[in-house]
Structure 1
Amino acid sequence: MRAAFSASRCAGAARTNLVVAARRVQARQLATRAAGGPAAPRTVAGSDSSSSSAQPSWAIKMLYDGDCPLCMREVEMLMRRDAGKGRIEFVDIASPDYAPERNGGITFEQAMERIHAIEADGKVITDVEVFRRLYEEVGLGWVYAITKNKTVEQLANKVYDVWAKYRLPITGRPDLAVVMQQKKTCGPRSQGGQQA
């Protein structure tokens, strides 16, 4: 009975993954069209161009949950705005290729708990600062400019904390413990996104 339940849960996860994969392809196609050709923003799961001694071509690397429908709306907008510029490197933490060692040491679980980004110099940033930096890179810095005020930033981070805590159930997904268990039992990845 337990094996049947587990197989059913993994089959459901597989169907969801197909839908999400289709959305990712659609997002890349939108970004390519917005750029007017084949030069689309990079969506990378495991590579890290900052690992070499040369400075990366991107200004900020966004770690995002490609399985989150609301997150994907924001990512798609940022991809369209960044199309052809390459200022943002998009890294899908839900990808089987996600590797913490190539992304500031940020594990899958840490990335699921709150938004992270990595600046070109290797500095890891979180929470509202991530959105402020991303929006600056796509010419919409004014949207989050008020959060440069420390008091406003602290308040905005408290609001973000609530969103981060309830993001999974709000988007119709199981809580983080269940997602982590599904990653262990349904996919080839172990916790943290490394290959089993």
Structure 2
Amino acid sequence: MKSAALTLYIDGNCPFCVAEVTRLHAWDQHGRLAFVDIAEPGFDPAPLGVDPAALNRLLHGRTVEGQWVVGIDSMIAAYTLVGKGWLISPLRVPVMRPAFRAFYRAFARNRMTISRLGLKIRPACTDEKCALKIGL
């Protein structure tokens, strides 16, 4: 079996994050993405060599070659791999990247609050845990 080109380490407790992963999974017709829920009991980041707090702070992706992509770079990589890179093309504009990075960091830091404020993204989310329906 062929390895995914990119593995995304996502927060399965975050309704917004789960909705995004569900969308990416639906678009991934060629199995280029894999997903790991860092909120699952028993998840051990030690073999990855990444600080658990860092994994929870910003979206992390790891390429099949072992290279890490973080924040908007992980989003660019994921969207590109599923053929939807055009949707996030503004993130690629060099002069705008610092602003997008700052916005992303602020959003990521407040993602749970944003999700709770009525975005109603994922009705399957109950309590603090969202059920990922993509076979993680």
- TM-score with structure 1 length normalisation? 0.55
Among 76, 84, 90, which residue is 1:132 paired with?
A: 76
**Aligned residue runs from structure 1 range 100-119, under 5 A:** 100-102=45-47, 104-119=48-63
Tell me how far apart the structure 1 counterparts of residues 12 and 109 of structure 2 sit (CA, whole Å): 18
Q: Conserved in 1, the CA contact under 8 Å of 2:72 and 2:101?
A: yes
In the other structure, the counterpart of 1:82 is: 28
Task: Measure how far apart 1:151 and its partner are.
Answer: 1.5
Which letter maps to 2:31? G
Q: What is the rounded CA distance, in whole Å, between the counterparts of 2:42 and 2:94 in structure 1?
A: 37
Q: 1:86 to 1:101 in 2, by over 3 A?
A: farther
Structure with a larger share of its residues in helix: 1
Query: What is the match of residue 61 of structure 1?
Result: 7
Q: Which has the higher contact order (CA 8 A, sep 6+)?
A: 2
Whichever residue aligns with residue 91 of structure 2, its letter is T
Distance in 2 (CA, whole Å) between partners of 1:87 and 1:97 is 25
User: What does residue 108 of structure 2 align with?
Assistant: 164
Is contact 2:58-2:108 (8 Å) kept? yes
**SS of equivalent residue, structure 1 residue 151:** coil
RMSD between superposed Cα atoms in Å: 1.8
Is it true that 1:120 corresponds to 2:64 in the alignment? yes
Query: For structure 1, which runs of at least 5 residues remain unmatched after alignment?
Result: 1-55, 173-196
Structure 2: gaps (5+ residues): 117-136
CA distance in structure 2 between the partners assigned to 1:82 and 1:97 by the alignment: 27
Contact 2:16-2:111 at 8 Å conserved across structures: no
Matches within 5 A, 1:6-155: 57-83=3-29, 85-102=30-47, 104-155=48-99
Q: Secondary structure at the match of 2:110?
A: helix
Offset at 1:165?
Answer: 2.0
Moved over 6 A (4+): none
Q: Distance in 2 between matches of 1:87 and 1:160?
A: 24
Q: Give, in angstroms, the shift of residue 86 of structure 1.
A: 1.6
Counting aligned pairs with the same residue, the percent is 28
Q: How far 1:163 sits from its partner (Å)?
A: 0.4
Q: Deviations over 1:27-66 (max 9, x none)?
A: xxxxxxxxxxxxxxxxxxxxxxxxxxxxx62111101111
Alpha-carbon distance in structure 2 between the residues aligned to 1:148 and 1:96: 35
1:74: Cα distance to partner? 0.6
User: What TM-score do you get using the length of structure 2 for normalisation?
Assistant: 0.76
